[in-house]
Amino acid sequence: MKAGIIGSGSWATALAKILTDNGEQIMWWIRNEDTIRYMQQRHHNKHYLTSVYFDTNLVQLSSNLEEVVAASDLLVLAVPSAFLEEVMLLLPPGALNGKKVVNAIKGLVPGNNLLINEYLFNMFDLPLERYFTITGPCHAEEVANEKLSYLTFSGLQEEPAQEIANMFGNSYLQTIVNRDVIGVQLAAVLKNIYALGAGIAHGLEYGDNFLSVYITNCFREMQQFLETYGQEHIEAGTEHNYNASAYLGDLLVTCYSLHSRNRTFGNMIGKGYSVKAAQLELSMIAEGYYASKCLFEMNREVGAYMPVAQAVYTILWEQLNSREAFLALEKGFL
């Protein structure tokens, strides 16, 4: 099964490293021709994870998305959610026929607030049976350094999900398989919002004691949203072990780690940066920024009690003072 990676950022580069370290031949779509020429000459991505070098015998680079999709059995989506529609519009409607798609994006499609599988079904008629997700506490920077990490591969059917997981597993990457293909996506979206809030708290100079209480309440809020949403949208009988690494583990690492761009972005906001100034300084996408608006709009229908997510949304999108928002949160924490 030949994999094609769509995207050229740090996470796409990390996933390409994992696959090629395992001897897998890959197609790799990169939009920028200059980046492709550089990688062909220097064997590494000059913009992201620059210490990772690739065996060019295993990597075929192309700026032609249709070519990459046509030559691949398995497509790995690793572009920021804000750019997914722009990228996928380069493909004709039948481009994903017969393909398996692995979503490595931890976000929703902005504007219409769709899960990635919902968007792919609407645009390409991709059935959920051929859609899989990669989630878990796994920063690209640690993959680059081959620090032991864990990824969860989710799909409706365990056998094909396990087959995909086997392509990625190696000495520094342990793989887990589950069937909660919808729940893990939402957990990944939520943890980015909460990590952004954790960064705001750090920027406001709250300490570790408060942060531990903050994360505890975020985890409770995440569970409530998933349970409420799942009553109508998640297949009956799907396992939901919220203490597993794809849920709690990813929340913890994204809230605490200095590698977390969402935490870094939030820290700037807490220190008084405007959203625009923080975006310019970070120079990378903080998925939690877009996710906070999508989730706020989704929750109008779901109706879960989400004071933390609500506070992050109002700080980012309605310019509520960060200190004022967190003073209000303090009073309701358990």
238-285 residue pLDDT tens: 667 899 999 999 999 999 999 999 999 999 999 999 999 999 999 888
**193 close to 286: Cβ distance less than 8 angstroms:** no
Instruction: Give the C-alpha separation, 234 to 302, whole Å.
Output: 13
Say what the pLDDT of residue 98 is.
96
pTM of the model: 0.95
* Helix (H) or strand (E) segment spanning residue 6: strand 3-6
Nearest to 249 by CA among 228, 222, 269: 222
**Does domain 183-330 match CATH 1.10.1040.10?**
yes
Query: With contact defined as beta carbons under 8 Å apart, do 149 and 142 qualify?
Result: yes
Residues 3-178, CATH architecture: 3-Layer(aba) Sandwich (3.40)
Mean pLDDT in each 10-residue stretch from start to end of the chain (334 residues)? 97 98 98 96 96 96 98 98 96 97 96 95 97 97 98 96 98 96 96 98 98 98 91 61 95 96 97 95 90 96 96 97 97 90
Q: What are phi and psi of 208, to 5 degrees?
A: -65, -35
pLDDT at 62: 98
For the chain, what is the radius of gyration of the CA atoms?
19
**SS3 state at 74:** strand
Q: Domain limits of the chain?
A: 3-178, 183-330
**CA 180/CA 184 separation, integer angstroms:** 6
Number of other CB atoms surrounding residue 235 within 10 Å: 13
- Residues with a catalytic annotation lie at 191
